[in-house]
Structure 1
Amino acid sequence: MKQENYYRRGFKMRGDIQHLLDRDYRSEIVDRFRENGNYGEFGEVSIRIADEFGFCYGVDRAVDYAFQTRERFPDRDIYITGDMIHNLSMNDRLREMGIKFLSEGFDGRPDEKFSDLGPEDVIILPAFGAPIEWVTELRNKGCIVVDTTCGSVLSVWKRVKDYARRDFTSIIHGKYYHEETKATASQTNIDGGNGKWLVVRNLTETAFVTDFIRQKIDATELRERLSHGMGPDFDPDTDLRRVGVANQTTMLMKETMAVGEELRKAMVDRYGEDEIADHFDLFDTICSATQDRQDALFGLLEHDLDVMVIIGGYNSSNTNNLAIIAKERVPRSYHITNGECIRGDVIDHKPPGTPLDAREEIEEPGWLPDGPVRVGLTAGASTPNSQIGLAIKNILEARDISIDEVLQLPTT
């Protein structure tokens, strides 16, 4: 494999494409809110934004590298294995730039299309990463590979590789169909790893694992319950004696820690506290940006709010989790995919708590109550400021308030 055809640090061309990033993703409206302490009051409508929201470092880096790639290879065919990030407007922008998608969302097998690729083709790996076998095949074919995998994801990979080398099975708290989880699971097969992994979606699925560890159910029943999340040749009788916990980086931290604690207690019951180090391990692998946005939302929810708007892709795990948190405190919580979902008195939204891969969108009239209204707003880590600004504009225009009032906000 040729190292010169593999890029993980971009092409040092940020200055050449900065004007494009500013044009497509910056928002003067959001800039003014930030300068005013993330708050604005406009007649009977007040809008308060969480202190941390929108693009995180990993997403910003991935988008930057994608733009640099197009600039560096203007005449080459450029492909991406799947969604760059779970944001519709972002992925549409890449298509406008001539970047072709080998799969979309959680559907399809991009590797089935690899046979048509060769040394003249440029392949972008998204922020979620890609299974190691895909990367190996692409590099063996001589393709130019631009790897935008987020650093937080790489940290998780380091942990599961460590588990696998020590003959621990990686129990991954995540969604078995998610690109990141698939990529993480593949890391157990390299550097002498044992290739053993099991994905659990939530505490309900974790309970089946702990029941097996405590010998309340047998391997047959566990397979019936969790076969969708088991790695190849997974054998509960041998592969659940030593386990290490990791996670999809965009999951709720409190749930990941709860999954780990339930597994630890089961191992103590089975093997005893004195032997726990030989049977259980847990590293905190939650993404700091994900946690920062969750913490900032909890801070925002300390204020009295009548309506909560959460902006981000419907298949974005971190955005869905923000929507679930908000709904618990503010009944009128709306998860929208972009600012265009707000159309005056009508809002198109995905109800918080519905499945990540759900395609349903509800059209709801009368979403913004009459009279004085306090609106809270946050956005997932894959949401550009341009969409946040558009949402603010459309919220205000729903109450016949000109966006010019935002641009006149005083600075602190």
Structure 2
Amino acid sequence: MQDQKYYRKGFKMRGEIQHLLDRDYQSAIVDSIRSSGNILEAGDLTITLAGEFGFCYGVDRAVDYAFQAREKFPDKRIFITGDMIHNASMNDRLVELGIEFLSEGFEGRPDEKFDEIGPEDVVLLPAFGAPVEWVNALRERGCIIVDTTCGSVLSVWKRVTRYAQKGFTSVIHGKYYHEETKATASQTEKEGGNGKYLIVRNLEETAHVTDFIRGELDAETLKERLGHGMSPGFEPETDLVSVGVANQTTMLMTETLAVGKEIQKAMLDRYGEENIAEHFELFDTICSATQDRQDALMQLLDQPLDVMVVIGGYNSSNTNNLAIIAEEKVPRAFHIPDGSCIEGDSIRHKPAGTPLDPAQEIVEEGWLPDGPVRIGLTAGASTPNSQIGRAVERILEARNVSAEEALA
């Protein structure tokens, strides 16, 4: 039986809210293309969907539980600590349901607003999870907590907690400002953990760590370069003696593996193979859904394509990584948050690898070349089929073809 103030398994009310999920997030267009081998041919266009795309299990579960919570507690105030998932339409839908956000995107500190919450209120924890101190503060307030944290994220947390309990520092491959990475870092303080972590964004930042381990970089310089990702009171001389590698689940899989290998090499150089177990640990904490979508995109890119469209929130890490992969193989690759960004001969998009700043968004004319045109399409794990279907509609409209005609 669940704690009546803490829910992690929903309310067994999927049947009651299924019609809302079908209405808001499903797409007959996507279902039809899938039934035709993921290929749609219309006029001079050939649109091919990746083998895996869109909502993953963790996101589907989070959305499901949010809708169930509104159904379960129709008269209670419901809050959420931050974005449920990195998808604007999803978050807008929650607002329509009367769910209030305690922070927006990566901004704000929800714990500063906890005094407004009481025992009769409901608080949703998003798919990314929430820092340990936030959860503890909410428990102290006595509110009802609905925890939608993804199982893949929980697996990483267990690994980080074990590192900390052993006295190892967790080196986390992720974005230091990301909700999930913040929550993962906080797990180092659980159950007697040492509270030590270091967040590295990419291989460039990892190189600073390996240079220090090999004695080629001093501690003060390392602090200057990576201090933004260090735990409070971090001392490289003592805190980088024994490390365990983990990751934000939505990072680029190949880069996470490379980060681990580079740190392992440095530890071998410093301490020798006979002592490596005392100084380094690495376990596979890559989310299977993230990996599946990246693998499926690579398979799609093996075939000749003229245009690649990647759909998902600009603040979605896994979608941004899909866009980076696509841009390397297809010069005409476009990352769009939803189908409304396509307006005939123009497309509004964020170039791959650029910051999240909305000012980075550009409008490109003549995005769809003269035919015949082969278009690949994929979507991040926070993107519902309804948005994917809308993008397909807009692509067809750019060639003056209706979805009804194309699917007839």
> Matched residues in 1 for 2:161 and 2:232: separation?
17
Query: What amino acid does structure 1 have at the position aligned with 2:112?
Result: E
> Matched residues in 2 for 1:325 and 1:318: separation?
11
> Matched residues in 2 for 1:9 and 1:323: separation?
33
CA pair 289-357 structure 1, distance change in 2 beyond 3 A: farther
Query: What amino acid does structure 1 have at the position aligned with 2:313?
Result: G
**CA positional deviation for 1:191:** 1.0
The within-5 A match list for 1:188-227 is 188-227=188-227
1:257 corresponds in structure 2 to 257
2:6 corresponds in structure 1 to 6
**CA positional deviation for 1:400:** 0.3
User: Is 1:105 aligned to residue 91 of structure 2?
Assistant: no
The within-5 A match list for 1:7-406 is 7-356=7-356, 359-406=359-406
**CA positional deviation for 1:325:** 0.2
Q: Which runs of 4+ in 1 moved over 6 A?
A: none
**CA positional deviation for 1:371:** 2.1
Q: Unaligned 5+ residue runs, structure 2? A: none
**CA positional deviation for 1:201:** 0.2
Query: What amino acid does structure 1 have at the position aligned with 2:259?
Result: V
Query: What amino acid does structure 2 have at the position aligned with 1:313?
Result: G
Name the count of aligned residue pairs.
Answer: 407
Query: What amino acid does structure 2 have at the position aligned with 1:195?
Result: G
Task: Deviation per CA, 1:18-42: give whole Å up to 9, x if none.
Answer: 0000000000000000100100111
> Matched residues in 1 for 2:237 and 2:270: separation?
13
Q: Does the 8 Å contact 1:38/1:51 carry over to 2?
A: yes
> Matched residues in 2 for 1:89 and 1:184: separation?
26
Give me the CA root mean square deviation: 0.9
> Matched residues in 1 for 2:8 and 2:88: separation?
24
Identity of aligned pairs, percent?
A: 73
**CA positional deviation for 1:9:** 0.4
Q: Does the 8 Å contact 1:48/1:376 carry over to 2?
A: yes
> Matched residues in 1 for 2:357 and 2:38: separation?
31
Task: Deviation per CA, 1:42-70: give whole Å up to 9, x if none.
Answer: 11011000000000000000000000000
**CA positional deviation for 1:271:** 0.6
> Matched residues in 1 for 2:143 and 2:406: separation?
48
**CA positional deviation for 1:355:** 2.1
**CA positional deviation for 1:359:** 4.6
> Matched residues in 1 for 2:192 and 2:359: separation?
40
> Matched residues in 2 for 1:303 and 1:393: separation?
23
Q: Does the 8 Å contact 1:29/1:406 carry over to 2?
A: no
**CA positional deviation for 1:189:** 0.3
> Matched residues in 1 for 2:125 and 2:277: separation?
36
CA pair 281-105 structure 1, distance change in 2 beyond 3 A: same
> Matched residues in 1 for 2:330 and 2:276: separation?
41
**CA positional deviation for 1:406:** 3.5
TM-score, structure 1 as length reference: 0.98
Query: What amino acid does structure 2 have at the position aligned with 1:7?
Result: Y
Task: Deviation per CA, 1:120-165: give whole Å up to 9, x if none.
Answer: 1110000000001100110111010000000000000010001011
> Matched residues in 2 for 1:198 and 1:356: separation?
23
Give the match's secondary structure for 1:190. helix
Q: Unaligned 5+ residue runs, structure 1? A: none
Query: What amino acid does structure 2 have at the position aligned with 1:321?
Result: N
**CA positional deviation for 1:260:** 0.5
TM-score, structure 2 as length reference: 0.99
**CA positional deviation for 1:365:** 1.1
**CA positional deviation for 1:357:** 5.2
Query: What amino acid does structure 2 have at the position aligned with 1:334?
Result: F
Query: What amino acid does structure 2 have at the position aligned with 1:187?
Result: Q
> Matched residues in 2 for 1:38 and 1:359: separation?
34
Q: Does the 8 Å contact 1:316/1:356 carry over to 2?
A: no
> Matched residues in 1 for 2:299 and 2:312: separation?
19
